[in-house]
Structure formats: structure tokens, C-alpha cells
Structure 1
Amino acid sequence: MFVISGVTGNTGSVAAQSLIDQGHPVRVIVRSEEKGTPWKAKGAEVSVAEIMDIDAMTKALEGASGAYFLLPPDLTNEDFLGDSLKRAEAIVEAAKAARLPHAVILSSVGAQHGDKVGPISTIGQMERLFVATNIPLSAVRPAYFLENINDLMPAVLQDGVYPSMILPLDHKIDMVATKDIGLTVADALINPPAVPHRVIELKGAKQYSAKDIAAALSKSLGRQITPVPVPQEAWVDTFKQSGLSQQSAETMAEMHENINNGRIEFLDPNARKAGVDLASFIEKLVA
């Protein structure tokens, strides 16, 4: 029995569906019976639990051969970092209480660093908490999400520009679709590690820059989309205008700064590569 949390999100839903398609028994953790209804129809067991309810989470994990966890960020929280740590501690406590034999977590490229990585530090903390428990752990560390392009589509469609904090505009980085992350999670659950702490780095199919993204959007939309830089001094205010708290905005700005300067980078030059490329992702996005 594999237990999947975050099943209403992108990676969790892909992981759960992949496991079900392969004939594995699956239990999903949701916050309400209603959210579990479509998964029950697919043959999955449903457990209702909130992350901070350790007793309910423990019960949801009982009897599992492996479970997938992610730390959904509440970027509106004024104490984003403190709240994230509390939820990470609750997840690990439930896993310990349930005597979970294998945990798979959504970590991130750059999680090996304890500072100067923005919100990545919160999932790095969860990774280290699991390591301290001696629960066998598979930490999936993907690249920058291709889905981040979604957030910029209003500017693309309304103004014909692609604003970017990945700078300079020709700076190429790995980008990965959440579909590939979910499939990697499912594979990690089916094939548990032979070591206490396995790191699975997931690169993109290729590396892309803001110029590459704008060109792909131009081709798919049939009109010119121009990449434009967002000056670093405007990053925090830009994030706050999108609804982020001051602390969250500062951490997101810190993350982008350290993507650009190369601090947030893969450890393994031969890391696993994703299958979804930019062109196919954009075509589906604008369809």
C-alpha cells in the first residue's frame, strides 16, 4: 500500500494515478471526503487528515510500505518560514509514529544548502528532519518548474511580454514539468532505496532561458512575445503585489538571486533527465 499526500496538486495526482494504473494499492490523504471522492471512484482508499493533526496523519500512514509527502507553501503567511517548519515537523512526527518504512519527499535542486536558497530552505529542513529519524528516505530534487510559466500568462496574453527574473534573459537553466516529477515519485515508491538517504536529482529535458520561453510562446500563439527583465530591486514588491507576505516575497527574491548566480545547482552532472520539453509544454499550455 502506497500513501500519497498532496493528491489534489500536480505531483501528487500524477504519482497516485501512475501507481493505480500499474495495479498498486493506493491510499490518498485529503482534507475532506469531497476531495477524496474522485480517487475513491478510481479504487483508492481515502483518509481525511490535516497536516498538523498528527494522530490523523499517523492513522493515514499505518500499514503503508511507502508514502509521498510534500510541503505545500503558504506564501501569504507572515511567518512563512516558521509555519513551514512546524508542518514539516508534524509530517515527520506522524511518519515516525506510524513506523513508516520508506518516505519519498518533494525536495528541490539546491536543498543541500541550509541558507541563501529562499523557500527551498523549508523543504531542505524537512529532508534533514527525515534523515535524523533514520526512516529510509528518497528525496526527489527537481529543477525549476515549467509550470511557473503559468503565472506569467496574463502578461503574455494581455501585453505581449514575458517578464523574467531569471537573468540575464539568455541565462539557461533546467526546467521540469510536474508530470515528470510525479512519475519520478511513483518510481521511487515502487523501487525503495538500498541506502538510508537517496537523493534523486531531476533535470529538465533541456535547459531554457527567458528568450527560449518567449520564442516558444511566440510560435504557439502566432504573435510576437518579447522577453523583458524584471529588475532585481523590483522583485520583492512584484511578489507582494501578487499576494505574497513580506517574508515570502523576500525568500522568493533570494531564491531567484541564487538561481541566477549559480548557487542553486545540481550536485550530479549526470542527474536524471525529464521527458517533457518546453515546446510540448507550451503547446499544451496555450491549446
Structure 2
Amino acid sequence: MYVITGASGHTGTPIARQLLEAGKPVRVIVRSAEHLKELIDSGAQAAIGSLEDPDFLIEAFRGATAVYAIIPPNFTTPDFTGYQKRVADALTAAIRVNQVPYAVSLSSFGAHLPDQNGVIQGMTYLENQLNAVEDLRVVHLRAGFFFQNLFSSIGLLKATGLLAGFPIEGDKPLALVHTDDIAAVAARQLLALDFEGKTVRFVAGPRDLTFDEVAQIVGQALGKPDLVWTAFPYDQARAGMIQSGMTPSMADNYVEFCQRVNDGGLMGGFERNADNTTPTTLEDFARNELVAAYQTN
């Protein structure tokens, strides 16, 4: 039995689909079954409840051979890091009580930092909590910056002509990755279950990019060859995030994350190799997905 948390998200849905296609029994954790009709119709079991509820998760993880563990974003919580830690504690308790032998967790570049890493802080905490479960075999997928995060820049781009949204300096290299590639790596790990101990695996996209390069690629796809990246000052970016609907807590965490990108801390310790390089390019994403989203929003 495979249990997939965050099953309605960018990585959870394709992971569950790939496991089902391989003939595996899958239980998906959701807040509402209506978001997962396709997977349920394909044979997935649905466990409906909150990832912050350890009693619910203990029951949902019963009989699991492996768990895909994720802390979904929560844009409305007044204490984002506190929310992350509650989910991490509930996930860990359910794995420990049920003596689940395998787990794959979605982590991030920057999880090696003990603190001051913004939205990654909860992933650092989750890695540490899972590593403390004595007999658990776990792989932490430290993924790069999602291509899909660029969707949040479409509104401002259409309204003002500016590609912006994150206070990241344009010349800072960063690993960017498609979430489908993260899901493919996770699914392969879950199907093989050939890992031991507590390990980290980077999922880093095809190459590192600066946001100046991102703007060139996006501009070419959208027919805006003169498009450039605009990095707002931290205070202006924070205000814009809050205006767009983020809580102050989450906006503060995003700003701190961007500070770690700008000072080089986020990429510390990473060395690109064939194992952590994934195939989908930003050029493909921009042509096939970002253009469609730009045209329909």
C-alpha cells in the first residue's frame, strides 16, 4: 500500500497516477474527494482529512508500505512555520506509530540550512523529524525552484509588462525544475524501494539559470524579446505579496527564502551531476504551459 499526501498537488497527482498505472494499491490523502475524481475512478482509495491531524493520519497510514510525505503550501495560515511544523509532526507520528518502512519526502534546496531559510524551514524540520524515526528508510528529494512558480507572475506581467514577483536578483544562479520531473523521480523511488537509511537526492532540472535568463526564455515564448527580469526591493515585494493575498507570515518567509538565493546560501553544497539533472527544459515549459496560462488568464 502506497499512501500519497498532497495528492491533489503538482507532484502528488502524477505520482499516484504512475503508481496506479503500475498496478499498485494507492491511498490518497485529500481534504475533499471532489479534487481527485480521476484518481479515485482509477482505483485509488481516498482518506479525507487534515494533514495537521495526527489521529487522522495514524489511521490513514495504517498498513502502508511507503509514504510520499509533503507539506503543502498554506497561503492563509497566520503562522506559516508553525503550520509546517504541525504537519511535519503529524506525518512523523503516523509513520512511527504504524512502523512504515519506507518514505519519500518532498524537500527543497536550502533544507541543509539550520535556520533563516524562509519557506524551507519546515522542510528542514521534516527532514530532521523523519531522520529520527529509527527503522525508517527515507529519501529526501531536495527539489529546485518550480517552473510552475512563474504562473504567479502572469497577472503582473499582463498588467504592467514587468516580469517580477520574487525579490531575487537577476544574476543569481538557481536550479529550476518542472514538477512532473520531481514526480517521476519520486515514483521511481517508490516503485523500486531499493534505498536504505536516511538519504538526500537533489532534483535540479536540466541546468542552473539566472532570472535574467528566465526572462529571456519567457520573453521569446511570449513574443516579447525585450522582456527583462525586475527584482523589487524586499519591502516592496513583501507588500505586493500581501496585496495578492498572502499572509504577512508567508510573505516574510518568501522574502527570507529569496535573501538566501541572493547571498548564495540556498545552493550551498550542491554539485550538478547526471543523477540530479532532469530532462524538462524551461523553454519547453514556457512554450507548452506558460503561454497557454498567459493567454487564458
- TM-score of the superposition, structure 1-length normalised? 0.93
Q: Name the residue aligned to 2:9.
A: 9
Deviates more, 1:136-145 or 1:74-83: 74-83
2:11 is paired with a residue of what secondary structure? Answer: helix
Contact 2:163 2:230 in 1 (8 A): yes
The partner residue of 1:276 within 274, 280, 287 is: 280
Identify if the C-alpha distance between structure 1 residues 194 and 148 changes in structure 2 by more than 3 Å, giving closer, same or farther.
Answer: closer
Matched residues in 2 for 1:52 and 1:228: separation? 37
Q: Deviations over 1:11-32 (max 9, x none)?
A: 1011111222223222211223
Contact 2:242 2:248 in 1 (8 A): yes
Q: Name the residue aligned to 2:291.
A: 286
Matched residues in 2 for 1:266 and 1:25: separation? 38
Q: What is the 5 A alignment of 1:144-159?
A: 144-159=145-160
Q: What is the 5 A alignment of 1:1-287?
A: 1-134=1-134, 135-163=136-164, 165=166, 167-223=168-224, 224-265=226-267, 267-269=269-271, 270=273, 272-284=276-288, 285-287=290-292
Contact 1:166 1:209 in 2 (8 A): no
Contact 1:109 1:265 in 2 (8 A): yes
- The offset of 1:106, in angstroms, is 0.7
Q: Where does the alignment leave 5 or more consecutive residues of structure 1 unmatched?
A: none
Moved over 3 A (4+): 164-168
Q: Deviations over 1:223-270 (max 9, x none)?
A: 342322212342322222222222222121111011111111153413
Matched residues in 1 for 2:210 and 2:33: separation? 42
Q: How many residues align?
A: 287
1:179 is paired with a residue of what secondary structure? Answer: helix
Deviates more, 1:164-173 or 1:25-34: 164-173
Identity %: 28
Matched residues in 1 for 2:255 and 2:237: separation? 6
Identify if the C-alpha distance between structure 1 residues 232 and 54 changes in structure 2 by more than 3 Å, giving closer, same or farther.
Answer: closer
Matched residues in 2 for 1:78 and 1:164: separation? 21
- TM-score of the superposition, structure 2-length normalised? 0.90
2:110 counterpart letter in structure 1: G
Identify if the C-alpha distance between structure 1 residues 194 and 39 changes in structure 2 by more than 3 Å, giving closer, same or farther.
Answer: closer
